[in-house]
Amino acid sequence: MIGELEDARKRATDHKQLSASIRAIEAKAKLAGLMVERQKVEVTDGGSYGHCENVEEVAAAMVEEFYLTVEYTHSCTEEDREYLAKVYVDAIETMQRTIDEATDRLTEEIRARPLGSVEYRPPQALPSPLNAKETEY
């Protein structure tokens, strides 16, 4: 397939079709794994929980999502909602405590390491685009 793209590039170049030639080069690079398209994923509104300002509001939104799936076919009481909200709040707070504890432990372990245990490597300067000399890194 790369050979076919090279043939297409040569024909495009022979016919002075620069755009087609560039597309063929790009296709070859992608096929060879030299060019990867990056995608940016952005969360803008927080989804169903974007309006929530605290753990209790997140839990209440989770309860509402849960009950939307069962409310039409089964009866749900206010006690059911309150119980599930408490379970969600407890789970979120437990998860946050676990994350905080693990982060604190790791931070302590890292800070307990002797200073100077990381080799310092100064950043390499990039060659000036105005300088045509080739620089070996």
Residues 51 and 32: beta-carbon distance below 8 Å: no
Rounded Cα–Cα distance for residues 52 and 59 (Å):
9
Position with higher pLDDT, 89 vs 28: 89
pLDDT at 135 over 60: no
DSSP per position, 103-122: HHHHHHHHHHSPTT-S---P
The whole-number pLDDT of residue 45 equals 63
Position with higher pLDDT, 105 vs 12: 105
The whole-number pLDDT of residue 91 equals 94
The DSSP 8-state label assigned to residue 37 in this structure reads -
Taking only the tens place, the pLDDT of each residue in 95-120 is 999 999 999 999 999 888 887 666 76
The whole-number pLDDT of residue 20 equals 85
pLDDT at 1 over 90: no
Taking only the tens place, the pLDDT of each residue in 13-70 is 888 888 888 888 888 877 777 766 676 666 566 677 778 888 899 899 888 888 888 8
The whole-number pLDDT of residue 24 equals 83
Q: Taking the complete model, does pTM exceed 0.75, yes or no?
A: no
The DSSP 8-state label assigned to residue 48 in this structure reads G
